[in-house]
Structure 1
């Protein structure tokens, strides 16, 4: 099963939009796709794909409940479907994930049991047989490097990194290199980067210079995504992927938007081409 986390330390770089459209591209390729939303922001993947109805429902089951061994139903009941993509939506209780997972760790220690708070998402997915049901797993964590990110990385072991090609964006990618090394050391696992994805590219000389520097540093940049404010803002307004927005909400096809859709397909194919990574 191909598994990866779409992550960037920098906010506002299109992390969630990229995750949703990569999931749609995978579904278009005929693959069974599961996306897990670990971001507690209101403007999250769950909102974008219109599956956030139970976000604030205290009586609803949630992924965190399964991670602390207090589920209210089977894992399969957490899954919603939108545009041919299966999604485990975010719930507001995820904001307290660290507190509840650490508390569960302390309880386990009191009884001489082992409980690694960073591996509980991996455990839940394995017990649910996700690796046998799906071809692709994509996780969208928050931008902060907290316990939710640690669980995402334990479950996938691989990252896809969106960034804005600017001085600030370049520094964030360099900082992410240090973060990956730190995660490997702290979590005791190897973390691979499948692709770095420049977003909001405008063809400026400074941007080209940053991309060249990143490639010289060994980063894998298979595509660049140009500034597409109208398209992507339309996606959020209509709560859908770019593929559905162009198909259902544009009266006429626009070449530059079709080019963007093609790049999402190309990126998805590039990521899955070398090898399928076991979660």
Structure 2
């Protein structure tokens, strides 16, 4: 299984676009993919795939209710499908995740027969996924949490144990570079000293300028692996995919949206290469 969380400490570096595109690229390789939107804000992965029609429905079952042990239905009923990708959409209840997990912890610990029992808030997403046999059902699990630290990110990282970090090598993306290794180490400590694997930091919106190179050099100083694939600036292509609530692959394959421009084709190939690289990190090498 290939589990990872797409995350960057800085917002606006293409995290959600990466998640949507990578999910489709994995699917194109014949992998069965589950993408989980853990971001409570509007306009995330759920919107990207046009699945936000139940986001504000207070009566709808949602992932948070399963995480606090109060589901209103079966786990499988949470899953929606778009472009062959199984997606667990975001729900407004995610905005209260931290408080709800704290209340669940208090209740469980007060009523548990073992006085030493501890409800581990950071492990609840993993518990839900394991109980639903997700690791044996899917080839790839990708989680898209918010940029800020907290229970959304902690649960995502604990569930996958791996990070893919898109970053923009520019002054705008500087926050996603500085101290990144310390942030990863801090996550490991916060989650009980688990090992968090960094699959790679992926340069995004690359323009090949001297400024880009300056921040690429800064990332090397953080002692984090840099993925051997970088993604160029393709604002028009990504914007059109977002507006039509499809992946860039669907945009390219369906002329109902628009014709793919010649210079945009390499972007699809780059994401194909990136997924090949990611898959390779989880492939056992024969002895």
Shorter chain as denominator, the TM-score bin is over 0.9
1:128 aligns with 2:121: no
Structure 2: 5+ residue runs without aligned partners? none
Shift of 1:252: 3.5
Tell me the SS of whatever aligns to 1:160: strand
Deviation at residue 119 of structure 1 after TM alignment: 0.2
Match of 2:64 in 1: 64
Match of 2:238 in 1: 232
- Report the secondary structure of 1:3's partner residue: strand
Per-residue CA deviations over 1:75-111 (Å, capped at 9, x if unaligned) read: 0000000000000000000000000001111112212
Deviation at 1:211, TM superposition (A): 1.6
CA distance in 1, matches of 2:179, 2:94: 26
> 1:49, CA displacement in angstroms?
0.5
Match of 2:249 in 1: 243
Partner of 1:47: 47
Residues of 2 paired with 1:217 and 1:92: CA distance? 36
Q: Report the TM-score, using the length of structure 1 for normalisation.
A: 0.95
Q: Deviations over 1:227-270 (max 9, x none)?
A: 11110110111000000012214543322211001111110110
Partner SS, residue 13 of structure 1? coil
Partners of 1:182 and 1:208 in 2: how far apart? Answer: 27
Q: How many pairs are equivalent?
A: 277
Which residue in 2 is equivalent to 1:6? 6
In structure 1, the partner of 2:217 is 212
Contact kept in structure 1, 2:251 and 2:260, CA below 8 Å: no
Deviation at 1:175? 2.6
Does 2:182 correspond to 1:175? no
Q: Which is bigger in relative contact order (C-alpha 8 A, separation at least 6)?
A: 1
Structure 1 residues without counterparts, runs of 5 or longer: none
Contact (CA 8 Å) 2:199, 2:281: kept in 1 or not?
Answer: no
CA distance in 1, matches of 2:135, 2:175: 35
Is 1:201 aligned with 2:206? yes
1:115 matched to 2:119? yes
Do the aligned partners of residues 120 and 276 (structure 1) sit closer, same or farther apart at CA in structure 2, a change above 3 Å counting? farther
1:36 Cα shift? 0.4
> Any residues of structure 2 matched to 1:11-50 within 5 Å, and which?
11-50=11-50
* Contact in 1 for aligned 2:9/2:175 (Cα 8 Å): no
TM-score by structure 2 length? Answer: 0.93
| Structure 2 SS opposite 1:227 | coil
